Amino acid sequence: MCPIYKFPQINLYMSNFCCNFAAKLDNRRKKKPDNRINEEYNIQNILNLITMQKSPLQIARQAYQPKMPVALNGNVRLVEGAATQSVADQEEIKKLFPNTYGLPLITMEPAPGEAKSEAINVGVILSGGQAPGGHNVISGLFDGLKRLNPNSKLYGFLGGPSGLIEGKYQELTAEIIDEYRNTGGFDIIGSGRTKLEETWQFDNGIEICNKLGIKAIVIIGGDDSNTNACVLAEYYLQKQCGIQVIGCPKTIDGDLKNEMIETSFGFDTACKTYAELIGNIQRDANSAKKYWHFIRLMGRSASHIALECALQSQPNICLISEEVEAKNMTLNDIVEQIVEVIVDRSNAGLNFGTVLIPEGLIEFIPAMRVLIQELNDLLAQNEEFATLEGDDAKREYVKSMLTPASCALYRSLPKGIARQLTLERDPHGNVMVSLIETEKLLIEMVSKRLAQLKAEGKYKGKFSALNHFFGYEGRCAIPSNFDADYCYSIGVNASHLIAAGKTGYMSLVRNLTKPAAEWLAGGVPITMMMNMEKRNGKMKPVIQKALVELDGAPFKYFKEHRAVWADSKTSYIYPGPIQYYGPTEVCDQPTITLKLERGAM
Amino acid sequence: MCPIYKFPQINLYMSNFCCNFAAKLDNRRKKKPDNRINEEYNIQNILNLITMQKSPLQIARQAYQPKMPVALNGNVRLVEGAATQSVADQEEIKKLFPNTYGLPLITMEPAPGEAKSEAINVGVILSGGQAPGGHNVISGLFDGLKRLNPNSKLYGFLGGPSGLIEGKYQELTAEIIDEYRNTGGFDIIGSGRTKLEETWQFDNGIEICNKLGIKAIVIIGGDDSNTNACVLAEYYLQKQCGIQVIGCPKTIDGDLKNEMIETSFGFDTACKTYAELIGNIQRDANSAKKYWHFIRLMGRSASHIALECALQSQPNICLISEEVEAKNMTLNDIVEQIVEVIVDRSNAGLNFGTVLIPEGLIEFIPAMRVLIQELNDLLAQNEEFATLEGDDAKREYVKSMLTPASCALYRSLPKGIARQLTLERDPHGNVMVSLIETEKLLIEMVSKRLAQLKAEGKYKGKFSALNHFFGYEGRCAIPSNFDADYCYSIGVNASHLIAAGKTGYMSLVRNLTKPAAEWLAGGVPITMMMNMEKRNGKMKPVIQKALVELDGAPFKYFKEHRAVWADSKTSYIYPGPIQYYGPTEVCDQPTITLKLERGAM
């Protein structure tokens, strides 16, 4: 029997995983999965970093004391609100999470006396992709716990969730913490992409927590990791093993936000870093006056990063995947839209400009999504295809198997992209969408279309294009003051939730468009943010992923202004690099997205 | 008769140009060359920028008052040193520059009284690629001139040297200047790559200068542009037309430096911007622990940018073109060198790292240079080749024509690169070296070699690589305090050289590792920096280009430390973004290259 059936309440959530990977499970349990990540993680690095050479800014930032909500400065009182319910599918979610459903919202209020608790040992996990500020969540958590009781201990599980499963950990002492205050990266304990989804993993967690006397686990991650944090909290409550679980909202993509969570941490710093580069490139474009720059930006699912960067830098064109999908646009529609701006600007004597492209664009083009799905279905574990020799034979095979519509689209794609779609596939045989150089695809198609127009006498300009992709440049940037303050507050706040015995909560810091002192801290039940969604064909309880809302204030602002930005007038803004010192309007601003969403501009 | 023979003293310099392009000359005189650039330049932009929206940092930086050498704060006295001579080929240079050769070095010293001059009209030209700080040279020049006499006027020639030739200009008023203080980019008047080399161009210059009452031209450019500035100065002296010419040392590449010029402006800001990104990527690499990042850096000829970025960020590997050439290394040697580090790190459990690659690398590999030269000779204006259809036919043709050694190298290259070498060529039929994605070439070759080693049981790691190219991100960054101060000082200093009637000089600011107040200002005769070099088969007087010196302090420091940086210990430094405010050690430091060269660290 598949071991997860021992935990019937989360069957639904687990069943697809079970179906797909059941065969591997026993084997994985013996081997303990993701040893690779842990083998790669070298504890020696922690010691090395402590003796590392530092840049002047690294040294200066170590001394920065993050700003915090007033409520977190001293002793706190947890004020509980009314019972909550999930954003949708209340019955199903309640059934799956009988112990963590319906918990009240919590608000931290200042209280007299000194903040104190029993000594508590806590474990912390970094889950998934890096986001600036992760180290500050950990240092805030550390400081919070130590202030509550100097005998409390903080353990870091190494290399992500697998550290919990495999019992790999490091006690985080003051000496180590001090080296990582206000720094970027997740290197303090490493991160990993192992999903906490199976009961044997949860049981392994109990074992190591009991060994270390750990009473609470803090999981710093995105929407999926926080969903899993809640599953874990629920399981531990059911098992009555006395281990609390608290989540923290991380992701540069900005798609973990909702009525309660105003923004995920890291989004601010990453966008500001990309916007710096976009601004610099725009100044270059406006000086050289001869290049169109096509800039792809990380952010797999949602287009929040592209949109925020557009708001900060005002490029000539910014594509928004959610709009492309809503309008059921084809690749050719997108090309026409870009070409129109290029021709207009060229008529005004301006043969240069910038185009921002969200990483996930291609999957939001309905016809492309169908093609990619067909290719995935067709080529995964296709042994006949695997034996074919030569690119041409493979192309012909693919063409012969696609539906007519997808075949036509496939034929229309530039060769290099068609090759990426069919030849470069992940271990499961799926197209690796994030590796597709959409910016080059668009340059090639735009260039071809402009040549046509030129031949027809409808375009007289000169089109030279350069391509860029920004992603890794921003994920580990030194956190902005905003992210440093926000993350530190999230960490300190988590220590109070733990001291009060809470579980199944996400550490919540709100009112973020105000000065940090006015921020509000508390806790939100993770179940409150959940609904049921189809994942790999099965309904599962998940935290709703926040895509760009086409009737939301940020997109509306963009939509109202983009014609002017596209226009012959140069509307570029040059944000420049993140500043940590200087006037508050320069160094303490949240994102424009957040300000627009909160009506603060 | 070719018109340049009217100016016999610079025959040698001009003769090659004359030979190659004599046929086009008359035509060009009529058409006036590079109209394209000027047509693209849209004066409307200046007005637009004045009403443009600005980022908080843009607004804050407008108020920054650059720091200056004490000597430039008030009235100055020009102190002349002994007569100078050129660094080499004194006889030839003296013959070519009878009027500007042997001039004395000039030092600015504080003088009593108020700085005053007659009203002087000055024209300024931005020449070549953008470099952060160009706007500050212009604002310093403006402020200097206006302080000497409020009735002086500054004109900007639009779109580079062609603005002078074609008489396209804009008076730079206080209102315009104020919009561009401490900003990146060359957009205030635009730049261009037209070379000032022909007497008809010079004569056109006289015409427009007379029309505007311009008594001096300031040319802001790299080594070639400054060489041409001196040719222009010499010509105007011979013509006795009363127009002075002053040069200013610009280039992010850092290869315009010598005994007198400590550094070119823009190098500091560009390197710091790239180092920020490299540091962020390194923190990501050290957190994710699964990628090797291959990062190509702009800097066509010399490897100063790569070296400075390495000194700032301490990557695992940094290639230096000048060393590759000196050691007569092959592409395979380079691959082996990288592979060795990857294998060593992998044996220590570290399957990640960073490799910095100077843009010009491929031309410094002796065998590659031969191949590229053969391809250029073979394919330029080769009509037979042009008629061949299909990539394969072209490849076969090329192979049949190359020397055996070049053919073997050509065969060994990955297909994509071989295609770039033969198919993508500039209008003259030459290989476009700057477009060759050396980082991808190396990834492919390293990957292949590692697969071999794995098959032989000599490598057990996992190699996943990502590629980056940084160039346009840094050329127009907001200038660092160093570049803002340095450039402003160069501009103010130029106004004093002009007021004193000097010509054929470069505006000189030295002692740059000291606080700005202690910097020394003056002038260096451009001829002093010249020697004779072969260019396109002819000997010409040129300013020596400064490549990385393998016995210089920066390279020696790098060489002493690189084994440790490559090593399993992580020595990464994370410089973070340029700071304009905050502690002086954070926001006022020059490059490490400069500090090492000047014995200041």
Q: Which of A268, A271, A289, A573 to substitute to test the interface with B, most B CBs within 10 Å? A: A289
Set of chain A residues whose Cβ sits within 8 Å of the Cβ of B587: 581
Q: Which residues contact A150 (CB under 8 A, 6 or more apart)?
A: none
Set of chain B residues whose Cβ sits within 8 Å of the Cβ of A474: 280
Q: Identify which of B185, B571, B577 has the shortest CB distance to residue A283.
A: B185
Helix (H) or strand (E) holding B48: helix B44-50
Q: Alpha-carbon distance B435 to B486, whole Å?
A: 32
Per-residue pLDDT, averaged over B532-538, amounts to 86
Helix (H/G/I), strand (E/B), else coil: A592 = helix
Beta bridge partners of A547: none
Minimal CA separation from B236 to chain A, in Å: 29
Which structure tokens are listed for B301? 């000829």
Helix (H/G/I), strand (E/B), else coil: A472 = coil
Note whether A278 and A356 are within 8 A (CB): yes
Return the pLDDT at A419.
81
Q: Say whether A333 is catalytic.
A: no
Which structure tokens are listed for B359? 């843009």
Worst-scoring range by mean pLDDT, A161-165, B23-27, B451-455? B23-27
Set of chain A residues whose Cβ sits within 8 Å of the Cβ of B58: 573-576
Helix (H/G/I), strand (E/B), else coil: B476 = coil
Instruction: Measure CA of the first residue to CA of the last residue in chain B; give whole Å.
Output: 57
What pLDDT, in 10s, does the model give residues A324-358? 999 999 999 999 999 999 999 999 999 999 999 99
Set of chain A residues whose Cβ sits within 8 Å of the Cβ of B466: 472
Minimal CA separation from B174 to chain A, in Å: 20
Which structure tokens are listed for B198? 């022909």
A479-A484-A486-A492 Cα dihedral, nearest 10 degrees:
140
Note whether A153 and A177 are within 8 A (CB): no
Instruction: Measure CA of the first residue to CA of the last residue in chain A; give whole Å.
Output: 57
The answer on pLDDT for A37 being more than 90 is no
Strands B520-525 vs B104-111: parallel, antiparallel or unpaired = antiparallel
Which structure tokens are listed for B162? 């062609």
Q: Which residues contact A132 (CB under 8 A, 6 or more apart)?
A: A184, A252, A265, A266, A268, A269, A270, A474, A475, A476, A477, A478, A479, A480, A483
Amino acid found at A491: G
For residue B356, is it left (φ>0), alpha (ψ between -120 and 50) or beta? beta
The answer on pLDDT for B36 being more than 70 is no
Q: Identify which of B289, B476, B580 has the shortest CB distance to residue A40.
A: B289
Q: Identify which of A40, A187, A284 has the shortest CB distance to residue B351.
A: A40
Split at pLDDT 50, 70, 90, the class of A435 is confident
Residue where the block lists tokens 């000189």? B508
Q: Give the CB-side neighbour count of residue A336, counting CA atoms within 13 A.
A: 6
The answer on pLDDT for B39 being more than 50 is no
What pLDDT, in 10s, does the model give residues A282-308? 999 999 999 999 999 998 789 999 999
Q: Alpha-carbon distance B457 to B453, whole Å?
A: 6
Residue where the block lists tokens 């029309």? B211
Q: Identify which of A60, A472, A571 has the shortest CB distance to residue B586.
A: A60
ipTM: 0.91
Residue A129: closest CA among chain B residues belongs to which residue? B288
Give every strand in the sheet of A153-157, ordered side by side: A76-83, A104-110, A520-525, A505-510, A244-249, A214-221, A121-126, A153-157, A169-171
For B19, B66, B199, B540, the CA distances from B2, given in Å and listed in that order, are 9, 47, 10, 18
Note whether B516 and B510 are within 8 A (CB): no
Q: Phi, psi at residue B88, to the nearest 5°?
A: -160, 170
Task: For residue A246, give the nearest of A26, A507, A533 by alpha carbon.
Answer: A507
Per-residue pLDDT, averaged over B428-436, amounts to 76
Q: Identify which of B40, B56, B350 has the shortest CB distance to residue A586.
A: B56
Helix (H) or strand (E) holding B484: helix B481-499
Q: Alpha-carbon distance B508 to B197, whole Å?
A: 24
The answer on pLDDT for A427 being more than 90 is no
What pLDDT, in 10s, does the model give residues B247-286? 999 999 999 999 999 999 999 999 999 999 999 999 999 9
Kindly report the number of other CB atoms within 10 A of residue A162's CB atom: 29
Task: For residue B154, give the nearest of B137, B166, B130 by alpha carbon.
Answer: B137
Q: Phi, psi at residue B473, to the nearest 5°?
A: -70, -20
Helix (H/G/I), strand (E/B), else coil: A128 = coil
Q: DSSP alpha helices (H): ranges in A192-327?
A: 199-212, 223-239, 267-288, 304-313, 321-326
Q: What is the mean pLDDT of chain B?
A: 90
The answer on pLDDT for B14 being more than 90 is no
What pLDDT, in 10s, does the model give residues B171-195? 999 999 999 999 999 999 999 999 9
What pLDDT, in 10s, does the model give residues A5-19? 333 333 333 333 333
Inter-chain residue contact A576 with B58, CB threshold 8 Å? yes
Return the pLDDT at A20.
33
Q: Phi, psi at residue B576, to the nearest 5°?
A: 75, 175
Inter-chain residue contact B577 with A273, CB threshold 8 Å? yes
The most confident of the ranges A206-215, A408-417, B297-306, B563-572 is A206-215
String of b and e for A511-535 (b: at least 16 CB within 10 Å)?
Answer: ebbeebeebbbbbbbbbbbbbbeee
DSSP structural state of residue A209: H
A303-A308-A312-A316 Cα dihedral, nearest 10 degrees:
20
Worst-scoring range by mean pLDDT, A115-124, A248-257, A268-277, A394-403? A394-403
The answer on pLDDT for B234 being more than 60 is yes
The answer on pLDDT for A160 being more than 90 is yes
E-strand stretches of B150-250: 153-157, 169-171, 214-221, 244-249
Strands B353-358 vs B538-543: parallel, antiparallel or unpaired = unpaired
Task: Please calculate the CA angle B178-B264-A576 and round it to the nearest 5 degrees.
Answer: 45
What pLDDT, in 10s, does the model give residues A353-374? 999 999 999 999 999 999 998 9
Helix (H/G/I), strand (E/B), else coil: A280 = helix
Per-residue pLDDT, averaged over A485-499, amounts to 98
For A563, A581, A590, B33, the CA distances from A484, given in Å and listed in that order, are 35, 13, 12, 54
The answer on pLDDT for A158 being more than 60 is yes
DSSP structural state of residue B442: H
Split at pLDDT 50, 70, 90, the class of A481 is very high
Can you say how many angstroms the Cα of residue A370 is from the centroid of all Cα atoms in its chain? 25
Which structure tokens are listed for B125? 């030209």
Inter-chain residue contact B284 with A185, CB threshold 8 Å? yes
Return the pLDDT at B428.
67
What pLDDT, in 10s, does the model give residues B454-510? 999 999 999 999 999 999 999 999 999 999 999 999 999 999 999 999 999 999 999
Worst-scoring range by mean pLDDT, A43-57, A249-263, B93-107? A43-57
Residue where the block lists tokens 């992209």? A417
Set of chain B residues whose Cβ sits within 8 Å of the Cβ of A39: 349
Split at pLDDT 50, 70, 90, the class of B427 is low
Minimal CA separation from B494 to chain A, in Å: 23
The answer on pLDDT for B453 being more than 80 is yes
Helix (H/G/I), strand (E/B), else coil: B601 = coil
Q: Which of B138, B284, B578 to substitute to test the interface with A, most A CBs within 10 Å? A: B284
Q: Phi, psi at residue B509, to the nearest 5°?
A: -130, 125
Return the pLDDT at B581.
95
Residue B287: closest CA among chain A residues belongs to which residue? A187
Which structure tokens are listed for B464? 């996943």
Return the pLDDT at B198.
94
Beta bridge partners of B109: B77
Share of chain A above pLDDT 70, in %: 90
Return the pLDDT at B479.
98
Q: How many helices (H) and strands (E) does chain A have?
A: 25, 15
Which structure tokens are listed for B233? 């100065």
Return the pLDDT at B580.
97
Which structure tokens are listed for B327? 């050691």
Inter-chain residue contact A350 with B289, CB threshold 8 Å? no
Inter-chain residue contact B52 with A585, CB threshold 8 Å? no
Split at pLDDT 50, 70, 90, the class of B9 is very low
DSSP string, B277-338: HHHHHHHHHHHH---EEEEEE--SS--HHHHHHHHHH--SEE--HHHHHHTT--HHHHHHHH
Q: What is the pTM of this model?
A: 0.92
Q: What is the mean pLDDT of chain A?
A: 90
Q: How many helices (H) and strands (E) does chain B have?
A: 25, 15
The answer on pLDDT for B32 being more than 50 is no
Q: Which of B168, B220, B286 to substitute to test the interface with A, most A CBs within 10 Å? A: B286
Catalytic one of A143, A187, A224, A253: A253
Worst-scoring range by mean pLDDT, A321-335, B413-427, B438-452, B585-599? B413-427
